[in-house]
Chain A
Amino acid sequence: MRAVYGIVVRELVRFRRQRARVLASIGRPFVWLIFAGAGYAAVFAGRNEIDYRVYMAPGLLGMVVMFGALLAALSTVTDRDAGVLRMVLVAPIRRSTIALGKALGATVLGTTQAVVVAALLLPLVHLRPSLADGLLAGLALVLSSLALGAVGLVLAASIRSLENFAGVMNFVVFPMLFLSGALYPVRHLGPVLRLVAYVNPLAYGVDLLKHALLGAWAGAGYGGELSPWLDVAALAGFAVAGLVAAAPLLAREGGVTRTAFRERA
């Protein structure tokens, strides 16, 4: 378990060094709140059920978790390119330990960033959750970070190189965000997209966050749409499935020798 701790500590030290990354992750949701929030709030203005900026708050926290945890897990691609993954692979630890360390690092980073953003964002939109709701929101952040970290690991282990990274951003990160219920309720989506939304871990995370933060608007149809138990179970399922799938992929031979061999052959 010392190895897991070591992997997590390295993630934190790296993150702290990257000041631009810290600022971007904290600032991003506020940019969305101001620009997307202003536009959508105007569209929503005729209806008085909820201020759109309040509606956005759980989704924005979900977004912070997604960027925080997913990008942390995707750093495995950089680790492979830079050779650091080799140091980890030659250590006397199991592949599952590596996957767990990486996923927990992503969890700590995703959760911490989201908590910092929540402390600034919630007062701004006049959301004052009770202690119980705050704890539920915290649980949602931890579970979402873990699930997204684990799923991110599978993505990272399947990506050949950094060039595919942009593709991941376009075809994974943005659909994941838009199909999460972060910006509009999932029930407004067509049947096909709704189906896609429910294989999206972020959708369960955002839903659980809505249970915690938008309980007062549940009657108007802006609270969580699924059972909170289902959200918790789905997030835990994504986390376990991701970890199980990622462990063998991390050690895949392509990552260690084969590419080097091909270059030479």
Chain B
Amino acid sequence: MTAAAIEARGLGKDFGSIRALDQLDLDVREGEFFGLLGPNGAGKTTTVHLLATLLAPTRGTARVGGHDVARDDLAVRRVIGLVFQETTLDRDLTVQENLRFAARLWNLPGRLAVPRIEALVRQFGLFERRADPVRTLSGGMRRAADLARGMLHEPRVLFLDEPTAGLDPRARRSLWDLIRRLRQASGLTVFLTTHYVEEAEPCDRVAVMDHGRLVALGTPADLKRTTGVGSLEEVFLARTGHPLAETGAG
């Protein structure tokens, strides 16, 4: 029996009177590619931040990599990588300087960090630009550098919070290539949040979320079959009564 990489029980978060996440029960298996699909404001980012110990839960518990997020937050942060919606790199520093900074934050000694950074910038197509300030990089390259930062300490669970937001289709494809290769190379568990159905499609399992609640959970094929529809978009419509992609501002 493999341990659960992520385990949430009745996990919830309120911001004042706003119920961002109601009560989430969730198990993500080791090595699984798990997708959290929902519109903006569904509670996806809140979920990620709770699991990554950046927020304290209002109710419920969660374990990530076997560590309790409330009691053992340092241990949780040691085994996870997190790529945020917006870049977290210092735009004035070069790619390499950013990665060195991250290596020190993750307590990697230089003899480990230097070859690892070199390998990552090569693997992520950043080698030529490694000495350039992040400010001068294209959106796609910045994302790749963010991902390199998230993978530097070889996490067991990688959280990707809307990783392709604001990227053009080509940059999007190359980012997914990178993520696929990372998954194949190791038993990395990937927890993805997205509001694009096509990004949820290749996931092993998808949790559909709306207004802070889980409305469906299963493999993309199962979800479509049990709902009796042909796409995840229709699954969302059928389960929530409204379309996933809103026409107005989300």
Q: Which residues of A contact B (CB under 8 A)?
A: 2-3, 5-7, 9-10, 13-14, 17-18, 82-84, 86-94, 253, 256-258, 260-262, 264-265
For B40, what are the chain A residues with a Cβ–Cβ distance below 8 Å? 264
Residues of B within 8 A of A264 (CB): 40-41, 250
* Docked CA distance A73–B97 (Å): 20
The answer to whether A3 and B105 have CB atoms under 8 Å apart is: yes
Contacts known (A2-B107, A257-B49); A92 close to B78, Cβ less than 8 A: yes
Residues of B within 8 A of A (CB): 15, 18, 20, 40-41, 45-46, 49, 52, 54-56, 74-75, 77-78, 80, 82, 84-93, 97, 100-109, 149, 250
- Given A10-B101, A13-B93, check contact A261 B77 (CB 8 Å): no
If A2-B104, A82-B90, A83-B86 touch, whether A90 touches B41 (CB-CB below 8 Å) is no
Known: A2-B109, A256-B55. 13 other contacts (CB 8 A): A6-B101, A6-B104, A82-B91, A84-B89, A86-B54, A87-B88, A87-B105, A88-B105, A89-B54, A92-B106, A256-B54, A261-B46, A265-B41
Q: How far is the CA of A248 from the CA of B244 in the complex (A)?
A: 38
- Nearest-neighbor residue (CB-CB) of B73 within chain A: A92
4 nearest A-B pairs in the assembled complex, by CB-CB distance: A6-B104, A91-B105, A87-B88, A92-B77
Task: Decide: A257 near B46, CB < 8 A? Known: A6-B101, A88-B105, A264-B40.
Answer: yes
Are A261 and B20 CB-contacts (below 8 A) given A2-B104, A6-B105, A86-B84? yes
Q: Which residues of B contact A87 (CB under 8 A)?
A: 88-89, 102, 105, 149
With known contacts A91-B77, A257-B49, A261-B20, A83–B88 Cβ distance under 8 A: yes
Cα A147 to Cα B211 with chains together (Å): 46
The CA of A87 and the CA of B145, in the complex, are separated in Å by 13
What separation, in Å, do the CA atoms of A265 and B20 have in the docked complex?
A: 9
Closest to A10 in B: B101
Contact check, B87 vs A83: say whether CB atoms are below 8 A apart: yes
Q: Could you say which residues of chain A place their CB within 8 Å of the CB of B109?
A: 2
Question: Which residues of B sit under 8 angstroms from A86, Cβ to Cβ?
Answer: 54, 84, 88
Residues of A contacting B104 with CB < 8 Å?
2-3, 5-7, 9
A91-B77, A92-B78, A94-B74 given as contacts; is B93 within 8 A of A10 (CB)?
Answer: yes
- Could you tell me the distance between the alpha carbons of A90 and B76 in the complex, rounded to whole angstroms? 10
Nearest B residue (CB) for A90: B82
Nearest A residue to B86 by beta-carbon distance? A83
Contact of A257 among B41, B54, B80, B102 (CB under 8 A): B54
A228 to chain B, nearest CB (A): 37
Residues of B within 8 A of A261 (CB): 15, 18, 20, 45-46
B105 to A, closest residue via Cβ:
A91
A91–B74 Cα distance when bound, in Å, is 8
Contacts of A90 in B (CB 8 A): 52, 54, 77, 80, 82, 88
Partner of A93, one of B89, B103, B105: B105
Could you say which residues of chain B place their CB within 8 Å of the CB of A18? Answer: 92
- Could you tell me the distance between the alpha carbons of A86 and B78 in the complex, rounded to whole angstroms? 15
B107 touches A92 (CB 8 A): yes
Q: Is the CB–CB distance between B88 and A14 below 8 Å?
A: no
Which of A10, A14, A92, A258 contacts B15 (CB under 8 A)?
Answer: A258
Whole-angstrom CA separation of A256 from B100 in the bound complex: 23
Task: Give CA–CA (A157, B23) in the complex, Å.
Answer: 31
Which chain B residues lie closer than 8 Å to A93 at the CB level? Answer: 74, 105, 107
Which residues of B lie under 8 Å from residue A9 when comparing CB positions?
101, 104
Q: How far is the CB of A50 from chain B (nearest CB, A)?
A: 43
Contact B101 A253 (CB under 8 A): no
How far, in whole Å, are A7 and B88 apart by their CA atoms in the complex?
Answer: 15
Whose C-beta in chain B lies nearest to the C-beta of A89? Answer: B54
Residues of A within 8 A of B100 (CB): 6
How far, in whole Å, are A89 and B56 apart by their CA atoms in the complex? Answer: 13
What distance in Å separates the Cβ of A19 from its nearest Cβ neighbour in chain B?
A: 12
Chain A to chain B contacts (Cβ below 8 Å), 9 pairs: A2-B108, A83-B86, A90-B52, A91-B102, A91-B105, A91-B106, A93-B107, A253-B15, A261-B15
How many Å from the CB of B180 to the closest CB on chain A?
Answer: 23
Collect the chain A residues with CB atoms within 8 Å of residue B41's CB.
Answer: 264-265
Q: Which residues of A contact B97 (CB under 8 A)?
A: 10, 13
